[in-house]
């Protein structure tokens, strides 16, 4: 039978620890520490979830910053990634199911699924395959446009 609580008990803030969305890997030894300066750098490159932002560029920048810490990269990435989100992206992360993320690959896949949906990939592919060279335009110019569009597409393994 369910535990019976009074209305006052429901209105009183809980003293229980909040459950985490990420199940962090165990780290050997007690020398795992993320410096505040690294958290600050990550927060300077936050992703808000705006349609004009490039999620692929965000992940690339994030990995470059997190890679400066010589430790278990899986643990570092999982601990740091929430600091790299704000606004809609942070709301998305905090609305995820408790314990639903257990690896960096899972986190990256969930991030791309939310912020780089298949429709956006299809739109970019249409731009790449649907261009036509106009009189006076150099082919190299079109090649650079194609490379730019391909750079936006996430690399899904």
**Which residues are CB-neighbours of 102 under 8 A, at least 6 positions away?**
22, 23
Cα angle value 123/127/133 (rounded, 5°)? 170
Residue 15 lies in a domain: no
Domain that holds residue 134: 117-157
Residues 102 and 147 both lie in one domain: no
Q: Cα dihedral sign for 79, 155, 110, 26?
A: negative
Q: What is the rounded CA–CA span in Å between residue 58 and residue 61?
A: 5
**The pTM of the whole model exceeds 0.75:** no
Q: What is the rounded CA–CA span in Å between residue 47 and residue 59?
A: 9
Residues 85 and 62 both lie in one domain: yes
- Residue-wise pLDDT for 130-157, tens only, equals 766 666 666 555 555 555 555 555 554 3
Structurally, the chain folds into a number of domains equal to: 2
Residues 42 and 105 both lie in one domain: yes
- Residue-wise pLDDT for 34-90, tens only, equals 899 999 999 999 999 998 898 999 999 999 999 998 888 999 999 999 999 999 999
Residues 27 and 82 both lie in one domain: yes
């Amino acid at each position: 039978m369910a535990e019976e609580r009074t209305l006052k008990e429901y209105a009183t803030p809980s003293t229980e620890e909040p459950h985490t969305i990420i199940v962090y890997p165990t780290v050997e030894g007690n020398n795992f520490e993320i410096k505040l300066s690294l958290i600050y750098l990550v927060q300077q490159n936050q992703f808000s979830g705006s349609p004009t932002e490039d999620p692929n560029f965000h992940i690339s920048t994030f990995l470059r910053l997190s890679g400066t810490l010589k430790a278990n990269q899986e643990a570092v990435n999982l601990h740091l990634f929430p600091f790299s989100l704000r606004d809609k992206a942070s709301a998305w992360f905090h609305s995820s199911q408790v314990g639903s993320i257990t690896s960096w690959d899972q986190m990256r896949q969930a991030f791309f699924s939310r912020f780089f949906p298949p429709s956006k990939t299809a739109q970019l592919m249409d731009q790449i395959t649907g261009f036509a060279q106009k009189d006076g335009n150099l082919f190299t110019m079109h090649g650079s446009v194609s490379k730019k569009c391909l750079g936006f597409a996430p690399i899904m393994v």
